[in-house]
Structure 1
Amino acid sequence: MKPTYSKVDGDVNKMHVLAIVLASYFVILLDTSIVITGLPEIRLAFGLTTTELSWVQNAYTLSFGGFMMLGARAGDLVGRKRMFMIGLTLFTLTSLVIGLAPNATTMFIARAVQGMGAAILAPSTLALLSIYFSEGEERTKALSYYAPTAGVGASLGLVAGGVFAGWLTWRVGFLVNVPVGVVLMFAGQKVLKESDTHTGSFDLIGALTSTVGMTLLVFGIVESASLGWGNVITQASLLIAVILLTVFFVHEAKAEQPILPLRLFKSRERVGAYLARMLFLGSMVSFFFFSTQFMQGVLGFTPVEAGLGFLPFTIPTFFASRMVPRFTKRIGNQGVMYIAFVFLLVGLIGLSMVTAQSSYLYGLAIPMLIIGFGNGAALGPLTIAGVAGVGKEDTGAASGLVNVAHQLGGSLGLSILVVVFASASTPNLDGELLLAHQISAAYHGSVWMIVGAIAIMLLLNFIPSLLVKYGLLMKSVQQP
């Protein structure tokens, strides 16, 4: 039986809903990056090797990406407010455990569970926006606040992480989530209204194959950077991931109530948005990671200085995101996306030219400024395109797919560029000269990711639109 969904009660203050959603999503993205500038202190605190240290981030990333679709569809099945509250509670409690962790094992386990909480919470936030804000100008305006939260949250996480690690302790970065989480839980319980629940069966096979498959895919790519592509663990992980994900898609095509309705892929606009988002995030996460290394390893910045060094990126990200609704009215959603990606491309090309002799101002700050404008302008249109034309019964799945593209794109992209970084090693260079050379190579990889994203958008959106306009392609073949 096809599920039905009731309309949101009219007495709900939408600005309160927006504030809760933005604050929740901000905390998730802040926590993803706040740990980066604090990693050296964490290594000293627990006596970790470089490989062990990587699991501080990998445990969170693997869990976040692997459980995303399960968390998204669960909102459709049992209610989005309920899943929002469960995810927020789990995220808050594990933040407390991480902040007080007496050893590395406790921290790794808590980070993995925290990733599960984020996987439940992230798609719930976007689904709530889709419910409370009507498609069109109202939703576009709401998403213009939501989308840049990712970029600003990630960037401010680097700043805050540097400040905490340099002046206080890395633990503060996690403990600060506790009072914020408690306030959001109270506000969410008071303000949000529960959506109608799905009365059908739960797609257990789809949930298990997608979760385990995506987890192994991320694991295999991440581990290839340290173990190598020829390692049996890497190969086995990737092989099993491909098998499980193949089973997942075959099953979803036949399932009566799938965890991921394949009809979401019938729109070229949405497919292009998902793929472009993955490449975009792979490039941007790598930008954060390698820029931190350049500032601290080549320019000799302290963690605090490195964190503040991202401000030329953060400020234009905010201002560009605020201009998105105005420009969308004038040139359309796709037009804004293309302009944004041109800014990203130009800025990353500038970064790829860094050397050991580059100054912060000309080598990093000016390219960051350009990238910031592109980042702020890109996220909103990509998010809008990713949920465009989706029915209410699929809002949770569509929201989850947007976040899967976001999380897995960042994880896979960084893993690939870490391999590029390692392969750029040369016996002719050492010390700061070698580090700068390897980082430049990684930046070149980021440039090609953005080129790939632009190519995908042209092939799936712009060119078909032109063909339809001039009668060379039937309109029914274009995205619905």
Structure 2
Amino acid sequence: MNGTQHPAPPPRFRWAVLVIAGAQLMVVLDISIVNIALPSIRDDLGFTRSGLQWVVNGYTLAFGGLLLFGGRVGDLLGRRRVFACGVCAFALISLLGGFADEPGQLIAARAAQGVAGALVAPTALALISTTFPEGRQRRAAFGVYGAVSGSGAVIGLLLGGLLTDSLSWRWVLWVNVPIGAALACGALLVLPSSARRRGRFDLPGAISVTGGLTALVYGLVRAPQHGWTDRWTLTSFAAAAVLLVLFLLIEVRGRQPLMPLRVFADRDRSGAYAVTLLTGAALLSTLFFLAQFAQDVMGYSPLRNGVAFLPNAACVLLFSGLASRLTARVGAMPLMAAGAASMAVGLVWLSRLDVGARYATDLLPGLLLYGSGLGLLFVPLSMTAVATVADEDSGLASGLLNTAQQVGGSLGLATLSTVAADSTRDALPFGRPPTRPQLAHALAEGWATALSVSVAFVGSALVVVVAVIRARPGAAARPAEPATRQDTATPTPG
């Protein structure tokens, strides 16, 4: 015990896990829950087809660009305080966004949601590693966290379909209000108070990394619509490169850097970030393509579309619980390898989809394999990323993990959307409008091709796991790495 955190009393364990996991679920599912409602939003508010993408991208840009900064804010100002404030802000912005009556208002609300989410996500993971004592409690908490993180996108599809079909698209935002209020109150009641540390924010580092990540994510979400050689796409990538190089120079020379480079000294942690980047590239795009396939080719309604993915979510939940119990016995590497392999096999199966696909024989087996692998992978991956990190850096380590997943998701979706569009174009008849069956065949061909390419992302993650990860059973119990003197900030009661 270092005096900066106090483990949650055993009677409050379940409530503390519920609060942390609930907040993470709210932030994660808010990406996919809106996808199902996009057609209704377009018709109600008068979005153009090109403008509609910014309902999703506005959230993604702000969320991905500010995750690293959000993690450091929690480290310095106190994690419980920042967590509760972020959840309250998320709920309030969701309420206002639900009342939007023109496109600009909704896009602005979604961007503001992303800012609030960037405060919640890294502090949620950091709170697990600093609230619960090493052993059964922490492993169980990571199991729940991994389950909701891995299944959140699927739950969002189901909930989005249910709310849109039965009420209105506005309820995909308003549903966050009672949930956020309950979570904020719960955080103040059941989570231990966390330290507020004296120290200055690395403002030049924060500006450069936030600007760099935002420019990178912007380029990635723009590329599928406008092309990889588009002037503004290339300008975004160039700006991202300059700003991120500048950020590294600032961090190397800074006295109290936003991202102390010592967090990368641990081989297992750096490997975990690389695996998160690669699997994130496959995760978001897979659900994105399959949801469209079920709705546009198989003819599913929004609600039926969400229900179709429930077995995937069930597998994530089941195998996350299994992984949380097995990690201490067999170590992180075997579980991560098994998870990545199962995900890859599931993607190979799903890449065989065509217009005649049947749910029980063509879609379901791939969803089960993919969900099982994700459940096995995510828990030891999260534990490895924050294991042994110094307490004052736990928010940073969590922010880096979330940033890797977010940037990986944007990179994968941008790349695979381009692959899908090119494959679909090649499959369409030349010189004449396609018939409805021809269009369905071309769309299925494009999405199947993209899924086959996503196997390379997961396969690369498997190679990294086997070649880099060396964590053994019980490795997470090693003492935290001490901070160097120049980077240590003095804690004060908060």
**What TM-score comes out, normalization by structure 1 length?**
0.93
1:356 counterpart SS class = coil
Runs (5+) with no aligned partner, structure 1:
466-480
TM-superposition CA deviations, 1:397-422 (whole Å, max 9, x none): 11111111122221221111111111
The SS at the match of 2:259 is coil
**Residue 386 of structure 1: CA displacement?**
0.8
Distance across 2 between alignment mates of 1:455 and 1:390: 24
Q: Which residue of 2 aligns with 1:360?
A: 359
Partner of 2:5: 7
Q: Following TM superposition, by how much is the alpha carbon of 1:9 offset from its aligned partner in structure 2, in angstroms?
A: 6.2
The within-5 A match list for 1:295-334 is 295-334=294-333
Please tell me whether residue 452 in structure 1 is matched to residue 460 in structure 2: yes
In structure 2, the CA distance between the partners of 1:107 and 1:10, relative to structure 1 (3 Å rule), is closer
**Stretches (4+) displaced over 4 A:** 9-12
Amino acid at match of 2:388: G
Task: Flag the 1:368–1:42 CA change in 2: closer, same or farther, 3 A.
Answer: same
8 Å contact kept, 2:272–2:384: yes
Q: CA deviation at 1:184?
A: 1.3
Aligned to 1:60: 59
Aligned to 1:126: 125
Deviates more, 1:110-119 or 1:148-157: 148-157
* Corresponding position of 1:186: 185
Q: Report the Cα offset of residue 458 of structure 1.
A: 2.3
**Residue identity matched to 2:455:** V
Q: Given residue 160 of structure 1, which amino acid in structure 2 is its aligned partner?
A: L
Answer yes or no: is the 8 Å Cα contact 1:224–1:234 preserved in 2: yes
> Contact conserved, 2:58 with 2:110, CA < 8 A, in 1?
yes
- Residue 68 of structure 1 deviates from its aligned partner by 0.6
Distance 2:113 2:47 in 1: 21
Q: Over residues 202-248 of structure 1, what are the superposed CA-to-partner deviations in whole Å (9 max), with x where a residue is unaligned?
A: 10011101101000000001101111111110011100100000111
Identify which range, 273-282 or 131-140, moves more after superposition: 131-140
User: TM-score, normalised to structure 2's length?
Assistant: 0.90
Report matched runs for 1:139-158 at 5 Å: 139-158=138-157
Over the matched positions of the two proteins, sequence identity in percent amounts to 36
Question: What residue in structure 2 maps to residue 441 of structure 1?
Answer: 449
Deviation at 1:360, TM superposition (A): 1.8
> 1:396 is aligned with what amino acid?
G
| Residues 330-359 of structure 1 deviation map (CA, whole Å, 9 limit, x = unaligned) | 422111111111110110000011111221
Q: Deviations over 1:121-172 (max 9, x none)?
A: 1111111111111344432221011111112221110011112222221111
Query: Closer, same or farther in 2 for the Cα pair 1:350/1:208, shift >3 Å?
Result: same
Task: State the Cα distance separating 1:193 from its structure 2 match.
Answer: 3.0
1:426 correspondence with 2:434: no
The worse-fitting range, judged by mean Cα deviation, of 357-366 and 210-219 is: 357-366
Distance 1:432 1:82, change over 3 A: same
* C-alpha distance in 2 between matches for 1:29 and 1:427: 34
Secondary structure of the residue that 2:199 maps to in structure 1?
coil
Shift of 1:10: 6.2
CA distance in structure 1 between the aligned counterparts of 2:217 and 2:100, rounded to whole angstroms = 25
The letter for the 2-side match of 1:254 is: R
1:276: Cα distance to partner? 0.7
* Pair 1:233–1:304, CA change in 2 (3 A): same
Q: Is residue 51 of structure 1 aligned with residue 50 of structure 2?
A: yes
Q: Distance in 2 between matches of 1:317 and 1:393?
A: 31
Q: Distance in 2 between matches of 1:293 and 1:10?
A: 43
CA distance in 1, matches of 2:3, 2:121: 21
Residue of structure 2 in register with 1:77 after alignment: 76
Read off the aligned partner of 1:371 and give its amino acid letter: Y
Inter-partner Cα distance in structure 2 for 1:412 and 1:17: 34
Aligned-residue offset at 1:5:
5.2
- Please report how far the alpha carbon of residue 190 of structure 1 lies from its aligned counterpart in structure 2 after TM superposition: 2.2
What amino acid does structure 2 have at the position aligned with 1:123? P
Q: Aligned to 1:181, what secondary structure does the other structure show?
A: helix
Report the Cα distance in structure 1 between the residues aligned to 2:221 and 2:8, rounded to whole angstroms: 46
**Which residue in 2 is equivalent to 1:473?**
none
The one-letter code of the counterpart of 2:447 is I
* Kept in 2: contact 1:312–1:366 (CA 8 A): no
Gaps of 5+ in 2: 430-437, 473-494
Helix, strand or coil for the counterpart of 2:55? Answer: helix
